[in-house]
Amino acid sequence: MIRKTIAVILLLTLSSAVLTGCANNTDASGVCFAMDTVMSFTIYGKNRDAALAACQAEVYRLDALFSATDPRSDISRINAGAGEFVEVSDETAELIERSLSLSKTTDGAFDITVYALVECWGFISGDYRVPAADEITQLLGNTGSGTVEVQGGCVRIAGGQKIGFGAIAKGYLTDRIWSILESYEVSRAVISLGGNVLVLGDKPDKTAWRVGIEDPFTADGYFGVLSAADMAVVTSGGYQRYFEDDGKRYHHIFDPSNGYPSDSDLVSVTIAAKDGTLADALSTAFFVMGSTQAKRYYDNSDGFEMILVTKSKEVIISAGLRDVFTLPPQNGFTLTVTG
Ligand code: AMP
Ligand code: MG
């Protein structure tokens, strides 16, 4: 039996301020569906209506550019033209370059060329299946970003390769939305793009936004709460999308080194950063890499904080979150601070 679960809103703001704002008519709220995700917006300030419209237009613009299933998108055209240089928008070329660089720094744990594997396992069509070992081996031969070339506004992937922005597009969208909100002089907003949340400023009652980090074991409710301002908060976890076959669970985050759903010691990874693109890529990569390598990466770089949850319910937070993350004593989670 094959079963599919999608956790729609993965990170929820615990604040009731969103509703309070609506009641007071001081915010503009909207919901839209794109990138396989329900996206919600609550924007405050004098330009809130125009800002909301501009943010939603941006969602659809980037969806059209990056969708791997719309044949007119940049990504589909690159995939269809595998082996040849394909002219794309500067934005697509730049996000591919960023992806290649993140592949390098994560030792290949983040890799946009896993798309063919994601597709083969049925995560694009919804026709989930466990591929035969030789199918996986064959696709693995075409996995790896070393063959992806960007020259000016043109991109070439190797014949047989396919790329997808599933692990980074919403992070990039978060950055774009932030910049649009700034251009509309919006300093207070909460935006939820599935597992990607953006909180700007504080709540109307002047207290901090509280972002609930979903319990990866129950996918229902929160295990901890992060107080945040002017921050992108992104969570990746195997519980967010998976199917079951013959009693075994297969999730949507792949280990590019073996072609199977990754099997590190982690069940969820949350990254908080000013750079939403970085946060999105690292949350996926760390989930694949596991806690030891994630801690090493944290020690050797800056610009983000992290919350790792292990299979044994250990919650490992980076030092910068010590005063802003709360773990209520419940459900057997233990807290460790690293870095
Ligand atoms: P996220 O929810 O940001 O962790 O991204 C997961 C999505 O990115 C999956 O649904 C796949 O489409 C794609 N993906 C899966 N594994 C990887 C990986 N190792 N590197 C890059 N993208 C991936
Ligand atoms: Mg990601």
Name the percent of the chain lying above pLDDT 70: 93
* DSSP sequence for 274-339: S-HHHHHHHHHHHHHH-HHHHHHHHHT--SEEEEEEETT-EEEEEGGGTTTEE--S-TT-EEEEE-
- Cα(42) to centroid of ligand 2, in Å? 23
What local confidence, expressed as pLDDT, does residue 330 receive?
72
Do residues 310 and 265 touch, judged by C-beta distance below 8 A? Answer: yes
Q: What is the mean pLDDT of residues 193-218?
A: 95
Closest CA to 10 of 307, 209, 215, 147: 215
What local confidence, expressed as pLDDT, does residue 230 receive?
98
Q: How many CB atoms lie within 10 A of CB 150?
A: 18
- Cα(110) to centroid of ligand 1, in Å? 8
Torsion of CA 166, 80, 259, 289, to 10 degrees: -40
Q: What is the mean pLDDT of residues 3-31?
A: 49
- The tens digit of pLDDT for each residue in 49-62 reads 999 999 999 999 99
Reply yes or no on whether the pLDDT at 232 is more than 90. yes
Task: Pick the ligand that lies closest to the CA of residue 111.
Answer: 1
pTM for this model (two decimals): 0.94
Reply yes or no on whether the pLDDT at 3 is more than 50. no
Paired sense of beta strands 196-200 and 231-237, if any: antiparallel
Reply yes or no on whether the pLDDT at 16 is more than 90. no
Q: How far apart are CA 239 and CA 214, in angstroms?
A: 10
Which atom of ligand 1 lies closest to the CA of 196? 3
Residue 6's pLDDT band (cuts 50, 70, 90):
very low
Rounded mean pLDDT of the chain? Answer: 92
Q: How many CB atoms lie within 10 A of CB 214?
A: 25
